[in-house]
Structure 1
């Protein structure tokens, strides 16, 4: 319940709407209680008239008209309240979704390194769907039903206190059974959600990498894994549903016993003259009025349990500590013609395994430095530290002599352009992807960047040219085309520092030549950090840093390191060899032949 209350706290500006709905609910509840009194008056009038053979038909017709008016007014108010409740739920959906997305964007990179994408998305979908459905039911029905029950019990107490006591007994019985049910039900729901998150997360991965799945003939294997997860969910649902309906049956038994006592008491009181026939009709109608809300209590409990269970996942995500970005007192970094320096940098991930140990090197302004080392040796971690995706455990990273921790994060990231091995494009148009690093770029700027990246020629061949939709992750483009779009994006951003997770290692020779030409143009005049995947492309860098087990092994020019017998020299020898063993060794260093 605490998580659900906290979830409502994430919404703003909805109190007035909720207050209007509450007022309409009060009116609806009062209107619902009017017909039983009219029926009492009609019944007593008819009984009295039958005794004297003087039934007042005009009076009875007037009461019938009154019933019609009450019904029509109640229908109008109920539907107005329903529209407002639906809008309230939709506005809440918008606010909760936006708040969740906003919070995700502030979380540190390490959060996304450990979370399944499907779980992040499902957490939002479950919470928003179930909480808004609960809110709709609460706003449109619950308050009116509660008022109907309370006022009806008060009227019963006035006319026949035994009836009121019997009906009042239902409340603690329902509360006890519900409290007992809720905890166990939510445990079942948590187990189901775990399997669903894994299954849907894998589903998303398969859909986004369908070519890989088909090329390995893994369709049936993926389907079996998906089916297995849902089969487990079906098994858990059976246990959950069986338990819930057992408890619901207990509620039904309690309701039946209480109603038997109520109707038996009413008939005996009417027969003995303790209450009039009209009062008996009134009380029966009120019992029926309460019966609806009591029967609906099962649905309310189900909605509440789902909302409470799934709001926990949402609340847990919202409780994650955001990336600390306190720009107060920090300087705006001027990275033009600036050097990059790593000094005594050590870093460990959340699992405490040390990745970098006392790393130190310098990239002079306008120079190119390549990192070479075994897979998992910390090359990508170094680039992530430079981009402030992580913070070093010790040591510092400086740009132009300024510790990046003392500079504003916005200025640090604005100074760095990136081209990764995976082009990382978004669905949308070519224009939108090139302009991603500079949203306000003019058409001329976008076109110039495309030309400099050797992308203009193939873009011009499309019917819609720059307005061509490229599909999810650029699926409609070839590898070389995607890389050239990524290079155009980096060119347009025009950051003085370039991080290059070598973009040619997975391309064919023709595409590699075109992309490499664009990369050379991109690197010109910039301070460049290259994560090396192909020795031929780093033969002309200014400096190579080799890494061994998270530490700097050697630093020098390609010519110098080729003579030392170290990692770089060994890789040159392996590249010249043609044996399978040599190729396997190259792969250990993320190197393509």
Structure 2
């Protein structure tokens, strides 16, 4: 059995991440009105937020003068509170409006992947380990929600706010303040992206090991009786423990490298803020700036660098979620080996005559199981196929049911080649009593009525 493609391969943003964004965009456009409203509320919230330091400057400058009526600072104080309230209100409205978009996208994507998995042929499901697939789907759908939240609630607002703050500094003060702020932001982002990209190898390895551990655990528990029959509990526990031990080692390296990144980020911000505040303080001493200007610059810097404080975490989450979503969307890229021809008609069964004509078949990568097999089953006839294990008895049933297509020859039902007819219509016309009784983890009624749920 082979597992999903290893994530430790080189990760190319331009090819894989952009592919994810293109696949994600149609789900957002299904609710474009909500996306537009959420964007408008976002802009309103940031405009109100950036206006707060401006009002704060006016309050400080008003209080710094002795011959000003108290009505002015009182009005500014009310304006300060109103802007704070407006910023909070618009943020909450944005969140509420966008919630439907986020969860609807999760719903549609999860449904699409689940539906697609049922269109794939039997060989795909036999070659894959279900534990790994379910883990990829779970991580992928959760990543949809996380990624949308990051872009709408972090990246876009932060970028917009940074532009507003630097613009205010450039317009109202010496260009030196805006230039130092811009250089600090650029340097901070460049370092964060470079170091985080280097650290991603640990995330790839963690995902591989977590999927391996999850797959082993699911396989072990599904085959509980087999484990007991052979007294292999210790083997299963040790196998799981070895995988988790390797995961623990890589996770520790990932966390320690993150602490180094956090220190570097803090140092860059501290340096930029210190240079700007020293310059601003000197401006106050030289009476080129007022005390209110000093307060406004400091408040703007807080609003500028606060989003940057979480940029490292946000960027790591983006990369992590792109990885997880790529694994899920890779499932959608899988194409069935058994598919309907373009415009294939539905099979019409009148009598139920089955013919195998010179049928040969080999499983992928293996020798032929069947070679030039021919026989006919007349309507109402009962036959038994006898042979040693591995001679191809079960394969005949799988070919008739179109789990696989024949390598050569043809299978006819009432003179119709099943390969040229819709797979669903072929399978609907055939009733199967499997050799191994498989039960869903549901009620007895659910299992009995599963084949025809409208039966009474």
From the superposition, tell whether residues 162 and 101 of structure 1 become closer, same or farther in structure 2 (CA, over 3 Å). Answer: same
Q: Which residue of 2 aligns with 1:135?
A: 148
From the superposition, tell whether residues 350 and 248 of structure 1 become closer, same or farther in structure 2 (CA, over 3 Å). Answer: farther
Matches within 5 A, 1:16-415: 16-49=33-66, 54-158=67-171, 159-322=173-336, 323-326=338-341, 328-336=343-351, 338-415=352-429
Deviation for aligned residue 1:368: 2.8
Any conservation in 2 of the 1:18–1:139 contact (CA below 8 Å)? no
What TM-score, normalized by structure 2, do the two folds share?
Answer: 0.89
Deviation for aligned residue 1:10: 5.3
Q: Which residue of 2 aligns with 1:542?
A: none
Matches within 5 A, 1:533-572: none
From the superposition, tell whether residues 180 and 352 of structure 1 become closer, same or farther in structure 2 (CA, over 3 Å). Answer: farther
Could you tell me how far apart the structure 1 residues matched to 2:204 and 2:191 are? 21
Deviation for aligned residue 1:213: 2.9
Q: Which residue of 1 aligns with 2:6?
A: none
From the superposition, tell whether residues 185 and 100 of structure 1 become closer, same or farther in structure 2 (CA, over 3 Å). Answer: farther
Deviation for aligned residue 1:176: 2.5
Larger mean Cα displacement after TM superposition, 68-77 or 181-190 = 181-190
> Larger relative CO (CA 8 A, sep 6+): 1 or 2?
2
The alignment partner of 2:449 has SS state of helix
Could you tell me how far apart the structure 2 residues matched to 1:82 and 1:304 are? 19
Larger mean Cα displacement after TM superposition, 368-377 or 121-130 = 368-377
Is residue 437 from structure 1 mapped to residue 448 from structure 2 by the alignment? no
In structure 1, list runs of 5 or more residues that go unmatched. 443-593
The runs of 4+ residues in structure 1 deviating greater than 6 Å are none
Could you tell me how far apart the structure 2 residues matched to 1:173 and 1:356 are? 66
Any conservation in 2 of the 1:435–1:441 contact (CA below 8 Å)? yes
From the superposition, tell whether residues 378 and 243 of structure 1 become closer, same or farther in structure 2 (CA, over 3 Å). Answer: farther
Deviation for aligned residue 1:329: 4.5
Is residue 11 from structure 1 mapped to residue 27 from structure 2 by the alignment? yes
Q: Which residue of 2 aligns with 1:566?
A: none
Any conservation in 2 of the 1:93–1:128 contact (CA below 8 Å)? yes
Could you tell me how far apart the structure 2 residues matched to 1:333 and 1:20 are? 52
Any conservation in 2 of the 1:342–1:398 contact (CA below 8 Å)? yes
Any conservation in 1 of the 2:347–2:418 contact (CA below 8 Å)? no
1:268-320 Cα deviation digits (max 9, x unpaired) = 22222232222221111100111211102122112211111111101211111
Could you tell me how far apart the structure 2 residues matched to 1:72 and 1:172 are? 31
From the superposition, tell whether residues 325 and 302 of structure 1 become closer, same or farther in structure 2 (CA, over 3 Å). Answer: same
Q: Which residue of 1 aligns with 2:9?
A: none
1:8-42 Cα deviation digits (max 9, x unpaired) = 13525132222211111101101111210111111
1:348-376 Cα deviation digits (max 9, x unpaired) = 22325433332223233322333333433
In structure 2, list runs of 5 or more residues that go unmatched. 1-16
Could you tell me how far apart the structure 1 residues matched to 2:283 and 2:133 are? 61
From the superposition, tell whether residues 145 and 175 of structure 1 become closer, same or farther in structure 2 (CA, over 3 Å). Answer: closer
Could you tell me how far apart the structure 2 residues matched to 1:94 and 1:34 are? 38
Could you tell me how far apart the structure 1 residues matched to 2:140 and 2:259 are? 24
Any conservation in 1 of the 2:59–2:73 contact (CA below 8 Å)? yes
Q: Which residue of 2 aligns with 1:450?
A: none
* Number of positions where the alignment pairs a residue of Structure 1 with one of Structure 2: 437
Any conservation in 1 of the 2:46–2:87 contact (CA below 8 Å)? no
Any conservation in 1 of the 2:61–2:292 contact (CA below 8 Å)? yes
Kindly name which structure, 1 or 2, has the bigger radius of gyration based on alpha carbons. 1
Any conservation in 2 of the 1:398–1:404 contact (CA below 8 Å)? yes
Could you tell me how far apart the structure 1 residues matched to 2:435 and 2:325 are? 38
What TM-score, normalized by structure 1, do the two folds share?
Answer: 0.70
Could you tell me how far apart the structure 2 residues matched to 1:248 and 1:112 are? 43
Question: Cα RMSD over matched residues?
Answer: 2.1
Any conservation in 2 of the 1:152–1:290 contact (CA below 8 Å)? yes
Could you tell me how far apart the structure 2 residues matched to 1:20 and 1:353 are? 61
Could you tell me how far apart the structure 1 residues matched to 2:252 and 2:387 are? 53
